[in-house]
Amino acid sequence: MKPRRSNLSVPGHVAKMHAKAAESAADVVMLDLEDSVPLEAKESARQQVIDSLLHLDWSKKTVTVRINALDTPFAYRDLIEVVEQAGPVLDAIVLPKVNHEGDIHFADRLLTGIALAKGGPDQIGLEASIETAVGLLHASAIVNASPRVKTLVFGIADYSASIGARLVSISGHGEKEEELYPGHRWHFAISKMVMNAKAAGKLAIDAPYGNFKDEEGLRRSAVMACALGCDGKWAIHPGQIAAINEVFTPSKEDIELAAKVIQANEEAKNAGRGAVAVEGRMVDQATVRLATQLWEQARHLGLV
């Protein structure tokens, strides 16, 4: 699976940003038809996204399109027109505000129908955005609703609105949290989403950080998401990509430690033992699983 460390969101109606995104270092580029596009530009954004999908080079990227929410007049056309016209280029459709498994079934069957009608490949996945109380409640049913679901993503601002949480910063995307709550305000929501994604063998992606000029805050937010088991984080500005990629890339020290743990485990197995000591710390089979995961990640990224 291609890495999904940084996921750059790009407004669908702003063509010059599409070219910039295609050349960026983001692992995933998401062309957005939802909340970054004003109402009067919904139709033109759809056409612009199709043009960009067809005319820019996405071969080194995972490229996705976020359609409008299914309770709007735009969503069904977004999906049908984008996929009919540019489907073979697309890796996934991002569904905002997914509330029930039925939302996934709807998109899944439309995608199947379009693939049958076109006779082309049927490769398009789904990313389900968990950004309502109902969506989080049903996260397990949502992630298991179709093999097309590859990732769950946390939508921090809409989730805050959905539960009536206090708006802390102007963007509502993760700033000054520690001033309001002594701990990680989104620990439960992110952990629940991560647990449901991982139980289904899928990836979990954190929400974007809204203050794109605050690199330290972005880093802190990314480090916490990584610690909670997220595989990547959304970005809203190209200036956020490098820090996110770095945080979600295993460090040289981590890789060396993982190699030591794996090696020690081999030696322990040969000696008929389950737990051994590495650098003064206990290493058992759980530690070996963690180390093996990190090694696999590093291998995907071409680091080992």
Residue 60: CB atoms within 10 A of its CB come to 11
Measured distance CA(278)–CA(284) in Å, rounded: 10
Q: How far is the CB of 158 from Mg ion (least distance, A)?
A: 4
| Closer CB to ligand COA, 24 or 265, in the complex | 24
CA geometry: angle 11, 13, 14, nearest 5 deg: 70
Residue 205 touches which of ligand COA, Mg ion, none (CB < 5 to 8 A by kind)? none
Q: How many helices (H) and strands (E) does the chain have?
A: 13, 10
8 binds, among ligand COA, Mg ion, none (CB under 5 to 8 A by kind): ligand COA
Q: How near is the Cβ of 66 to Mg ion at its closest, in Å?
A: 9
Looking at the Cβ atoms of 126 and 276, the one nearer to Mg ion is 126
CB of 279 to Mg ion, least distance (A): 43
Q: Please compute Rg for the chain using Cα positions.
A: 20
Instruction: Print the binding letters for residues 220-249 with ligand COA: x by CB under 6 A, - otherwise.
Output: ----------------xxx-----------
Is the CB of 198 or the CB of 237 nearer to ligand COA? 237
Closest CA to 82 of 59, 114, 121: 114
Distance (Å) of CA 271 to CA 263, 268, 275, 277, 282: 13, 5, 11, 13, 16
User: How many residues at the interface with ligand COA, by CB under 6 A?
Assistant: 16
Q: What tokens were used for 115?
A: 């693939």
Query: 21 vs 145, which CB is nearer to ligand COA?
Result: 21
Are 224 and 194 in contact by the 8 Å Cβ rule? The answer is: no
Footprint of Mg ion on residues 120-179 (CB under 5 A)?
131, 155, 158
Q: Contacting ligand COA (CB under 6 A), which of 3, 6, 10, 221? A: 10
Beta carbon nearer to ligand COA, 36 or 68: 36
Secondary structure (DSSP) of 140-201: HHHHTS-TTEEEEEE-HHHHHHHHTPPP-SSS-SS-SHHHHSSS-TTHHHHHHHHHHHHHTT
Judged by beta carbon, residue 234 or residue 295, the one nearer Mg ion is: 234
What is the torsional sign of CA 218, 224, 226, 228? negative
Closest CA to 51 of 12, 96, 3: 12
The helix (run of H) or strand (run of E) holding residue 94 is strand 92-95
What mask, x for binding ligand COA by CB under 6 A, covers residues 36 to 55?
x-------------------
206 in contact with Mg ion (CB under 5 A) = no
Of the candidates 27, 32, 108, 127, which one interacts with ligand COA according to CB under 6 A? 32
- Picked from Mg ion, ligand COA, none, the partner binding residue 9 (CB below 5 to 8 A depending on kind) is ligand COA
First to last CA, the chain: 16
Rounded least distance, CB 149 to ligand COA, Å: 20
Q: Which residues bind ligand COA (CB under 6 A)?
A: 8-11, 16-17, 20-21, 32, 35-36, 208, 212, 236-238
Q: Which residues bind Mg ion (CB under 5 A)?
A: 131, 155, 158
